[in-house]
A and B are shown apart, each in its own frame.
Chain A
Amino acid sequence: MTPKFLSDAPWRLWAAQIPAILRIELKKTLLKKRNIWIYILALAPAVVIGLHGLIDTVESGSMVEDTNVLAGIFQFLYLRALIFFGCMILFTWLYRGEIVEKSLHYYFLTPLRREVLIVGKFLSGVITTSFIFGLSVLLSFALTYARFGKAGSAFVFAGPGLGHLAAYLGVTALACLGYGSVFLAFSLMIKNPIIPGAAVLIWETFHPVLPSFLQRFSVMFYLKQLCPVSVPPDTLALFTVIAEPVAPWVAVLGLLCLCAGILVFACFRIRRAEISYLAD
């Protein structure tokens, strides 16, 4: 039997309100000049890979080597730097930007549950970052294998290539979900995202040296296990605590639970929020 608070909830209204929020927010996140940095960040690896393809000849490198290089770029550049900072810029601004521009009260004065607003804003951020970074990953992947001609094409379409691509895109979307929820929640608590951002960066970078239980509270813990190609251990390897690996479905579910937990916290925060632009 469905609990009363769920059956009484105005689901149809919420279902109509989420697209309305997305229409407003996507215009801001996808088309705003301020977010040009995210596009530049996202395009950087694709440009480097493209240049590498132009300079290096096919003979000077092997496809296996480039597959490993792409895996390294994805884990160390995309996940730990670009998507991380991209999400920091975009998701903290989703809420904090409304306060800076003194426009949050318009949302608060409509028949819109604040929790629905958080979900709508979060979804708009996920769609935007997944689109931008997904496009960049797709471009990097295409440029990596395009220079190998027929062999590259065979790897992608007749070999494991498409599986790798799907995994990379999936991990990109999950990274946006995970980091997005963290930074959205931070923006509801702290004015300046730089300090908490640095703390999260340290946590995410050094999570392998933490006890295995604590590693489960890291976004990277789950993402690494979903990457299609493992990369050689980095400089922290000596201090690493090897956590028990988890099955892909557990990794996805774990990440979604982490993300949901953070969003629930954000919903509690926004319920008590007051409009006091001067104080902010």
Chain B
Amino acid sequence: MSTASNQIVFENVSKFYGDVLGVNRVNLSLPPGVTSLIGPNGSGKTTLMNLMTGLVRPTQGRVSVLGLTPDQPEEFFRHVGYCAQFDSFPKGVTGYEFVCSLLRLRGLPAKEADRLTWEAIERVGMTEPAKRRVAGYSKGMRQRIRLAQSLAHHPTVLVLDEPLNGLDPMARAESIALFEALGRQGMHVIVSSHVLHEVDKISDQVVLMSYGYVVAEGEIHGVRGEVKEHPMQILVRCSQPSLLASRLFSQDHVVEAKLNADGAGLLVRTRDADSFYVLLNQIVVEGALTLDAVAPADDDVNSLYQYLIGTGGGTV
């Protein structure tokens, strides 16, 4: 499979709703795995997802998913599933009917559609209420049955717009585990969410959006490393934090070193994480201190969001 036919590609894509900007000049290539779209309301996440699935058309540019476009729906939607943000259903349907009738539209025989329906319903934990009308479901149940519908046909690209909305903590954890598992199977899972610390754990890539523009994209740690105007924060747990702090202050790249209240750790802010790690290794090799743990403190989606969007943000 060529690279283009294995990726979701946006080529100079813009979308305007009349005079209102949806997204502008988006160039992206999303590889398989879990990709999180992150940005405040109105930043263009849903527009990007709708463009991906053909619900809206680009004003300019071209979108292709695995080398296909929505103009070939018979082929395109065999590979793509989309759980959109609309919390609406055809009137009077049960959860089972909702999933099954849309599978039948794919030309599947009744038996096969029935099998896939139950498989998807079980996957999202909706077996018991499946034969009840959707109108009587809670928000979380409606979310889950829509999720079942979007993955019932075993898509290779699953697009999920705020899939964790309305879910209770247990269902949230289960859904996250499901997305993670699907990503590991080589699927494209595109998730938009406001619950940053949860998508952080499962994202292979992030796309940060603001006012219709892609502010940053790529693997989280790589993106974080590129944000030069915000020094990296690294938490070190060690036996001699004050000794470490004194050594660090002689380095130009170290902006701050703050002792923990318990006296067993240090929070370091540095403009050059690589140099810091080299120095830390040297100190440990010298035997001057015993190292318990080292971990980046702001190498996550939440910090990126704050640095690039939440505070007006810089650009990468």
Contacts and interface: CB of A to CB of B under 8 A. Distances in A.
Interface string B64-77: 00000000011111
Contacts of A103: 88-90
A111 B82 CA distance: 12
A111 B57 contact: no
A273 to B, nearest CB: 10
B55 interface: yes
Contacts of A113: 73-74
B197 interface: no
Interface string A112-155: 11100000000000000000000000000000000000000000
Contacts of B76: 111
A108 B86 CA distance: 14
B101 A24 contact: yes
A106 interface: yes
Contacts of A28: 90-91
A30 to B, nearest CB: 13
B75 to A, nearest CB: 7
Interface residues of B, number: 30
Nearest to B83: A109
Contacts of B53: 109
Contacts, number: 79
A276 B81 CA distance: 19
B74 A10 contact: yes
A109 B104 CA distance: 13
B90 A110 contact: no
A28 to B, nearest CB: 7
Interface in B38-87: 50, 53-57, 73-78, 80-82, 84, 86
Given A28-B91, A105-B84, A279-B17, A110 B57 contact: no
B107 interface: yes
Interface in A65-119: 101-103, 105-114
Contacts of B82: 109
A102 to B, nearest CB: 4
A76 B261 CA distance: 91
B101 A111 contact: no
Contact of B105 (A110, A274, A276): A110
Contact of A274 (B57, B75, B77, B91): B57
B91 A101 contact: yes
B77 A110 contact: yes
B176 to A, nearest CB: 23
Contacts of A275: 50, 55-56
16 contacts: A21-B105, A28-B90, A32-B91, A101-B88, A101-B91, A105-B84, A106-B90, A108-B55, A110-B77, A110-B105, A111-B74, A111-B75, A111-B76, A111-B78, A272-B57, A274-B56
Given A12-B107, A108-B54, A276-B56, 18 more contacts: A16-B107, A20-B101, A20-B105, A21-B105, A24-B101, A28-B91, A101-B90, A105-B86, A109-B77, A109-B82, A110-B106, A111-B74, A111-B78, A111-B107, A112-B106, A114-B73, A274-B56, A275-B50
